[in-house]
Amino acid sequence: MNKKPTLKDIAQLCHCSITSASRALKNSPTISLELRKRVQETASRLGYIPNSLATSMRTGSTNTIAAILQDFRNPFFAVFAKYIEEYARDQGYTTLIITTNESAKKEYEACMTALGKNVDGLLLFPVQKDDKSVLLLNEQHIPYVLVGRCFQEIDTNTVLTDDEQGAYLITKHLIEKGATHILFLNSYRYIYSSRAREKGFQRALEHSTVMGDIVETSMDFGNTRNTLKGYLKDGHTYDAIITFCDLMGFEAYNTLHKMGLSIPEDILLASMDGLQQDIIFPVELTSAGTDRKEMTRHAIDLLLELISHKQAGKEKQESKKIILPQFLIQGETT
């Protein structure tokens, strides 16, 4: 026998109806103990696995959420994917993880895939090159929560960290450590958190004599390295570097190190994310970040709330915006 066994097969073998077989497998009290046992034994003997597609078709819910995020080569997203999948599973949900590579087109396609598969809701780490995906999700009336980034003009359920505060903390820290001229390697300004971090950086510099420059670069492999090299040609006066995220901080460390600079003696380095909470890396960067497990919990709790709200047939309620605090994590680089 090469085909997956179905309820029908079980029913035939047990000389009962498909309905009874279904109920027996659920241990329904309306079925005689004898039949229940018979059905369950047959099922396990055949290696029966319920076809969840059929169940979903019938019941209208898949018990699946989608998580759409950027790129697993960045441990920031990889770690989130892990925590999301883990926590969602604890709540009885399967997670469909899709990556976008920071491409708006792929993001849109990811949403289409998720919608086509009838996920009950989704967590979106938005690319923010455009807002098509969010508009799509709104139009399709599917519960979703934005994570990490948000759109100022669109009202959405969102879970963020206080990026402005994180950048402020890290900048203040560098100033305390004696920085006089800081280079901030930021990510693209279309990203909300990039603008927020820029604000925090500038607020920390106010009323001080410390100088700060901001460059826009990206998380792509090698970009931080190339940008940094360009800025550290002879004659520069930078004594501190801030990077948008730890992944860029890694590249910066690697680059400075190879240029023969000692960190933190010759130059200070700090970044944002605080990944050392989740993974031990060769060098611990000084970084600002938040607890990603907690952030995940908030995001999924909110999403599941929206889902059950919708399944109960209620009207859409007012959007929630949760902002988690950032804190400073002292590493070896300052």
Partner DNA sequence: CTGTTAGCGCTTTCAC
Partner DNA sequence: GTGAAAGCGCTAACAG
User: Least distance from C-beta 283 to its own copies, angstroms?
Assistant: 4
Residue type for position 248: M
User: Which residue of 27, 50, 257, 321 would you call a contact of DNA, by CB under 7 A?
Assistant: 50
User: Which residue of 12, 27, 41, 57 would you call a contact of DNA, by CB under 7 A?
Assistant: 57
Q: Which of 163, 211, 217, 210 is nearest to 185 (CA)?
A: 217
C-alpha 97: how far from its chain's center?
10
3 state DSSP class of 50: coil
With beta carbons less than 8 A apart as the criterion, state whether 244 and 191 touch.
no
| DSSP code, position 315 | P
3 state DSSP class of 138: helix
User: Least distance from C-beta 249 to its own copies, angstroms?
Assistant: 8
Closer Cβ to its own copies, 210 or 295, answer by number: 295
Burial per residue of 11-31, b for 16 or more beta-carbon CB atoms within 10 angstroms, e otherwise = bebbebeeebbbbbbeeeeeb
Residue type for position 113: T
Distance CA 87, CA 302 (A): 13
20 binds, among DNA, its own copies, none (CB under 5 to 8 A by kind): DNA
Please report, in angstroms and rounded to a whole number, the separation of the first and last CA atoms in the chain: 66
113 binds, among DNA, its own copies, none (CB under 5 to 8 A by kind): its own copies
155 binds, among DNA, its own copies, none (CB under 5 to 8 A by kind): none
Distance CA 68, CA 96 (A): 8
User: Which residue of 59, 91, 308, 330 would you call a contact of DNA, by CB under 7 A?
Assistant: 59
| DSSP code, position 65 | E
Residues that bind its own copies (CB under 8 A): 2, 4, 47, 49-54, 56-57, 62, 71-73, 75, 78-79, 81-82, 85-86, 94, 96-99, 101, 112-113, 115-118, 136, 139-141, 221-222, 224-225, 247, 249-251, 253-254, 257, 278-285
Distance CA 111, CA 121 (A): 10
With beta carbons less than 8 A apart as the criterion, state whether 167 and 329 touch.
no
29 binds, among DNA, its own copies, none (CB under 5 to 8 A by kind): DNA
User: Least distance from C-beta 281 to its own copies, angstroms?
Assistant: 5
Judged by CB under 7 A, does residue 68 bind DNA?
no
149 binds, among DNA, its own copies, none (CB under 5 to 8 A by kind): none
324 binds, among its own copies, DNA, none (CB under 5 to 8 A by kind): none
Contact footprint for DNA (CB under 7 A): 3-4, 6-8, 15-20, 22-23, 25, 29-35, 50-51, 54-55, 57-59
